Chain A
């Protein structure tokens, strides 16, 4: 069964450093999403991406965050200058079409020290 692949599984970084989280979507999927889950809290939507542009973003997704699909396969989330409160599990999800089921990756656990 096709799956969404996220790398790395765990990223440890120092506060103020830049991190890039990577996601390889299911091959025929066109809609891409990032969510995050702070430990003990609910899963929160960050951003949706379609046709090489952001279609929706949450209040969490401020100027420190960016997304891109640089090579037509990987879908990345960049945090320019990490803060302690960015520590969370970040999930990538992809869907074949709008309104279709979103399939989630196993997540990247980001720890900001």
Chain B
């Protein structure tokens, strides 16, 4: 079965510091990969996606992610974190052959300290 692993349940960073959230996936074919963000009481907002092509993808709010096939990873990065980035972040893989259902990781809660 396909799976997504986000090894860090919680991460705390200082405002202005850099951020990297880890994501590893298990998927037989070339994956569709996504990062979503969820603020408390809100829905899921797409940050960025990887379908094919350039392995470094840019998203909204200054986020980027790099697809590394050899490591089965799709880590999310931001060079300078803002207090408003505090939220829960979900990595997901799209299973195209199964109606493109998304398989989500458990999420990483980001806390930003001032």
A50 to B99, CA, bound (A): 9
Q: Are A42 and B99 in contact (CB under 8 A)?
A: no
- In angstroms, Cα B107 to Cα A103, docked, is 18
Please report whether the interface of chain A is mostly helix, strand, loop or mixed according to DSSP: strand
- Which of B20-28, B41-49, B62-70 is the contact stretch? B41-49
Would A101 and B46 count as touching, CB distance under 8 A?
yes
**Residues of A contacting B43 with CB < 8 Å?**
91, 104-107
Tell whether, in the assembled complex, residue B106 and residue A42 are in contact, meaning their CB atoms are under 8 Å apart: yes
A50 to B45, CA, bound (A): 23
Q: Which residue of B has the minimal Cβ distance to A95?
A: B100
- Of B11-19, B77-85, B90-98, the stretch lying at the interface with chain A is B90-98
**Chain B interface mostly:** strand
Set of chain A residues within 8 Å of B94, measured between Cβ atoms: 99, 102
B59 to chain A, nearest CB (A): 12
Interface centre among B49, B92, B104 (most CB of A within 10 A): B104
Residues of B within 8 A of A104 (CB): 36, 43-46
- Cβ contacts under 8 Å, A45 to chain B: 101-103
CA A43 to CA B99, docked complex, whole Å? 17
